[in-house]
Amino acid sequence: MKFRIVLCCAIALPACSSLNTVKPWDKDILARPEMSLTDSLTGDALDTHIFFSKEGSSGGSGMGGGGCGCN
Amino acid sequence: MKISEQLALASCALLQPVTGNADGETWRVDSELLVYSESDGRVSILEPVANLGIDFEDESSLDVKLVIDAMTGATPNGAHASSSAQTFTRPSGNGEYTVAPGDIPLDDTFHDTRIALSADWLQPVIDDSTRLALGANVSSEFDYFSLGASATLLRDFNGRNTTLSAGIGLNSDTITPKGGIPDPLRNMTSAGTPANRSGDSDTKTTTDLLLGLTQVIDRRTIMQFNYTLGKVDGYQNDPYKIVPVIDPVTGLPIAQSGNDLPYLYENRPDSRTRQALFWQTVHHLSEDVIRVSYRHYRDDWGIDSDTVELKYRYVLGEHDYIQPRLRYYRQGAADFYAHGLYDGEPLPQYVTADYRQGEFDSITAGFRYGHSFDRRSELNFRFDLMQQNSKVIGTLVGDQLAQDVAPDLSALFVSVGYSVRW
């Protein structure tokens, strides 16, 4: 149930007319490196590997069960 | 590189003006050296990572990443502490190790170095609004080899304020454990006696599907949703993990019987279906940046988990920042997780005593400090502490009640990183 609610919201988002389309010339702040969806290319990869090795979950911020005999 | 990393890089290309050299290309090198160290003589890892990336003028890009994982120390073998000393046979079958009363049984067999190489290519296709990301990865360690590939299609809408993505990833792994593949639910035998093992290696295949949505909310905010569905088929046991057989009255491991030690090799299903839903929002305040994410995970082994993470980047003048971070994780145990099996009870079809399949919660707190020398290079340091608190499952008996059958784990993360663009 939780999945379905969040998925519906996610799908509805692009159609929301209340979301103001941001013009290309207004994307100065969004274009800054600190606004990247990846906080740190190497840091996030290291975190993902460590947490995947120490926990029973994977995916979301990473995908693929291969790569090591960790989990 | 994982698909979600490809998506994040693709989103970067969406938002970032080209700031490269005279040829219109930007070269990037990101490197980091992590030292990870656990308490109680457990695992230590030294892990350097380096990523070389090139962003071309036509919005295509190439990333090549090398990871080296040097692991030392010891990891719990699945048995829990007991008031009597315990002796275990090494996976090779040729030696043994004894654990003192009250100590967590740890196996140091997996001293190893892993090397992983990945390459990712992002290319506009069909039209200006569509891109294809292709990836390949290979990794190797003495007892594990993995090969994989992925492909993701990204489509932009709403003046490039919305990106939908769909990706598929395939991985094929070969497991070649020291001593050979243990026979599931058979006993570990005394050193130097015939082992209950058959075959040198086994394989598993992983297929992952990802659906992603990235949405610019306003001038300062971007949001991401990812849904991933994964199926793993094949050998998924941990060949180095055992499950103790416990006397239901004394709570101690039962006596050795001939060559059979009171420890059984674990057995997990050879199929696993898992899902994850991930949400992330990045918001720029007047100077600082706040980043929050949530992931819900569940699979058909009975594990479900929730992860919440918060990062706040404080700008300290023109060249420096400090970014505290807090991560909370909770996990419910796999259906077949147990601290041990009681002698005389019917054997279950599946069982594992691997703490990572158990019930626990975990908090990781720390910070990253960065200093940029100019707009194109940065040195940063990271320091985190992780505290994992395991829970007892089911009813304990006798000596088990006097032991810590679900020990906690503390770990330190320290890293130094350097990034440069030109």
B274 pLDDT band, cuts 50/70/90, is very high
Is the distance from CB of B323 to CB of B310 less than 8 angstroms?
no
Q: What percent of chain B has pLDDT over 70?
A: 94
Distance between CA atoms of residues B4 and B2, nearest Å: 6
Beta bridge partners of B203: B174
A7: in domain? no
CATH of the domain at B121: 2.40.160
Distance between CA atoms of residues B354 and B161, nearest Å: 44
Residues B123-139, mean pLDDT to the nearest whole number: 94
Residue B7 pLDDT: 64
Question: Which amino acid does the sequence have at B340?
Answer: G
The low-confidence residues of chain A, meaning pLDDT below 70, are 1-20, 61-71
Is the distance from CB of B340 to CB of B76 less than 8 angstroms?
no
Beta bridge partners of B252: none
Chain B closest CA to A2's CA: distance in Å? 9
A34: in domain? yes
Q: What percent of chain B has pLDDT over 90?
A: 88
- Measured between alpha carbons, how far apart are the two ends of chain A, in Å? 28
A11: in domain? no
A37: in domain? yes
Does the pLDDT of residue B110 top 70, yes or no? no
HEC-encoded secondary structure of chain A = CHHHHHHHHHHHHHHCCCCCCCCHHHCCCCCCHHHCCCCCHHHHHHHHHHHHHHCCCCCCCCCCCCCCCCC
Overall domain count for chain B: 1
Lowest mean pLDDT among B71-75, B281-285, B289-293: B71-75
Residues B382-399, mean pLDDT to the nearest whole number: 96
A-chain residue closest to B279, CA distance: A60
Residues B214-246 as b/e (b if ≥16 CB within 10 A, e otherwise) read bbbbbebbbbbbbbbebebebbbbbbbbbbbbb
Overall domain count for chain A: 1
Q: List pLDDT tens digits, range B12-52.
A: 444 443 344 446 899 999 999 999 999 988 999 999 999 99
CB contact under 8 A, B331 and A49: no
Contacts of A22 in chain B (CB under 8 A): 159, 161, 216, 218-219
Range of the structural domain that residue B117 is part of = 3-421
Does the pLDDT of residue B324 top 80, yes or no? yes
* pTM (2 d.p.): 0.90
Q: List pLDDT tens digits, range B231-272.
A: 999 999 999 999 999 999 999 999 999 999 999 999 999 999
Establish if A5 touches chain B: CB-CB under 8 angstroms: no
Does the pLDDT of residue B81 top 60, yes or no? yes
B375 pLDDT band, cuts 50/70/90, is confident
Q: List pLDDT tens digits, range B331-351.
A: 999 999 999 999 999 999 999
Establish if A68 touches chain B: CB-CB under 8 angstroms: yes
Range of the structural domain that residue A31 is part of = 21-52
B-chain residue closest to A43, CA distance: B32
Longest dimension (CA), chain A: 47
